[in-house]
Amino acid sequence: MIILSLDTSTPSPSVALTKNHTVLSQGFSPGRDSLSKNLLRMVDDCLKSAGLHLEDIDAFAAAKGPGSFTGLRLGISTVTGFSLGAGKPSLGIETLRAMALASTQRDHLICPLLDARKGEIYGAMFRFVDGNLIRVAEDVLEPAGDFLKRIEGKVFFLGHGSVHYKAEIESLLETRALFGPENPDMSVAAAVGFLALEDFKKRERGDIVIKPRYIRRCEAEIKREEKASSC
């Protein structure tokens, strides 16, 4: 199965084409600032690199969060458009789960972290068991210190959140903290494609609608509620 997958939820957006368990091509964006202008070009470059066209794609997948609200909406709407236009299925994959799969670590607990700002992180815990990625703890949004205090044993951190909070992590966990490369060889988008392949095998069809996994409510929603309650 050939899958075109996108990750626009993390600070390093990516696009990938995977065929079963092989990465055919992948591309990275240096940041999210011009992503709305560059995303379709990145998709086109990936297709050209693999010698494929959109009609060759069997399914589409997108990282569905948590992560950047604007990025999530862009990636999910793009994948939805491709899916509807091609008449092919699509799936949403949890961002932190994909980040964990992209890790090079296989021996210790894996903690992908994203900086959620306001002194908080999006985090989760995974480990590999017999070559399979197993979720140990659900996605959370909380202060970094609260998350770190629950960790036992050695743990492998990855993601931009681990870079942002590295000093706090090392202070609390000392030598129990291991860190992955800031730019792993496998893109999050490629990991999204591999996980989508697994999920497609377990399901008869894709998502009718990919629902973003925000965890935190957006500022606009909070302000609307505050305004309504003050009336």
pLDDT tens-place string over residues 121-166: 999 999 999 999 999 999 999 999 999 999 999 999 999 999 999 9
Q: Residue 217: what pLDDT?
A: 64
Confidence grade of residue 37 (pLDDT, cut at 50, 70, 90): confident
Distance CA 189, CA 184 (A): 12
Q: What is the pTM of this model?
A: 0.91
SS3 70: helix
92 close to 64: Cβ distance less than 8 angstroms: yes
Q: What is the mean pLDDT of residues 76-89?
A: 96
Q: Residue 205: what pLDDT?
A: 77
Q: What is the mean pLDDT of residues 69-82?
A: 96
Q: Residue 221: what pLDDT?
A: 47
Q: What is the mean pLDDT of residues 20-42?
A: 90
Partners of 141 in the β-ladder: 122
Q: Residue 224: what pLDDT?
A: 47
Q: What is the mean pLDDT of residues 210-230?
A: 63
Average pLDDT, the chain: 91
* Domains of the chain by start residue, with CATH: 2-95+185-226 (3.30.420.40), 103-179 (3.30.420.40)
SS3 214: coil
Vertex 156: Cα angle to 152 and 116 (nearest 5) = 95
Among the listed residues 105, 109, 121, the one whose alpha carbon sits nearest the alpha carbon of residue 160: 121
Distance CA 85, CA 88 (A): 8
